[in-house]
Amino acid sequence: MNNKKVYLTEEGLKELQEELNTLINVKRPENIIALKEARALGDLSENADYDAACEDQAKIEDRIKKIEIMLENVSIIEKESTDKVGLGSTVGIKYFDDSSQVDEYKIVGSHEANPFVSKISNESPIAKALFNKRVGDIVTVESPNGSYKIEITEVK
C-alpha cells in the first residue's frame, strides 16, 4: 500500500482507532477461538467452519494492517477559516434545478466519506468545485452524469 496522506477529522480518527481496538482485542480473539473449535471437529479438508474461520481471520488481519498504515499516514483536518470552503468545511448548497433542493455537506478525506451521513470526499466532483469558494458563489459541478450549478449558502 502506498504512503498517501490520509485526511481525517478528529472524529474520524477516533472511529478508526476504536475499530482497530475492536479488531485486535475482540474480533481477533473470537476468531482464534473459532479456529480452535473448528480444528477440533476433525478433517479440515471438508470443514466449512474451519474454512469460514480462516476466511474471517484473513479479513480481520487485512483490515488491521490497512488501518495501521492509515494511522501511520494520517493528517488531521483542521478547519482554519469559515469564509472559504476547504477540507473540514461544512457547506450549505442550493441546487439550481427544478427542485431548488438545499443540502448541507461536510468535506472530509476519502477514507471518512459517507454520503449517507452527508460527509463527502474531498476528491468528489462537488467538493472539488466548492474548494476556495465563498458564500454566494455559484459554481458548476462537472460530474459523470453531466454538469450542474449550485450556490453556496453557508460555510462553517
Tell me, what's the pLDDT at 98?
65
Tell me the pLDDT tens digit for each residue of 10-43.
989 999 999 999 999 999 999 999 999 988 887 7
Tell me, what's the pLDDT at 47?
83
pLDDT over threshold 60, residue 1: no
**Residue range 106-116: mean pLDDT, rounded:** 93
CATH number for the domain that contains residue 110: 3.10.50.30
Please tell me the number of Cα atoms within 13 Å of 86 on its side-chain side: 10
Instruction: Quote the DSSP letter at residue 9.
Output: -
Between the CA of residue 85 and those of 88, 137, 141, what are the distances in Å?
8, 11, 15
pLDDT over threshold 90, residue 139: yes
In a domain, 81, yes or no: no
Residue of higher predicted confidence among 138 and 81: 138
Residue of higher predicted confidence among 27 and 143: 27
Both 68 and 103 in a single domain?
Answer: no
In a domain, 84, yes or no: no
**Residue range 46-51: mean pLDDT, rounded:** 87
Tell me the pLDDT tens digit for each residue of 57-105.
999 999 999 999 999 999 998 876 678 999 999 999 998 876 778 899 9
98, burial (CB in 10 Å: exposed 0-12, middle 13-18, buried 19+)? exposed
In a domain, 85, yes or no: no
In a domain, 1, yes or no: no
Tell me, what's the pLDDT at 65?
97
Identify the CA nearest to 120 among candidates 133, 136, 131: 131
Q: Domain range spanning residue 14?
A: 6-76
Joined grid coordinates for residue 117: 451521513
**Residue range 139-149: mean pLDDT, rounded:** 92
Both 72 and 102 in a single domain?
Answer: no
Alpha-carbon gap, residue 149 to 137, rounded angstroms: 10
Q: One-letter amino acid identity for 124? A: S
Last residue of a domain, one of 76, 99, 114: 76
Tell me, what's the pLDDT at 37?
92
Both 130 and 107 in a single domain?
Answer: yes
Supply the DSSP string of 65-128, one letter for each residue. HHHHHHHHTEEE-----SSS--TT-EEEEEE-STT--EEEEEEE-TTT-BGGGTEEETTSHHHH
Identify the CA nearest to 128 among candidates 91, 78, 154: 91
Phi and psi of 140, rounded to 5°? Answer: -105, 125
Question: Under 8 Å CB-to-CB from 11, ≥6 apart: which residues?
Answer: none
Give the total number of structural domains in the chain. 2
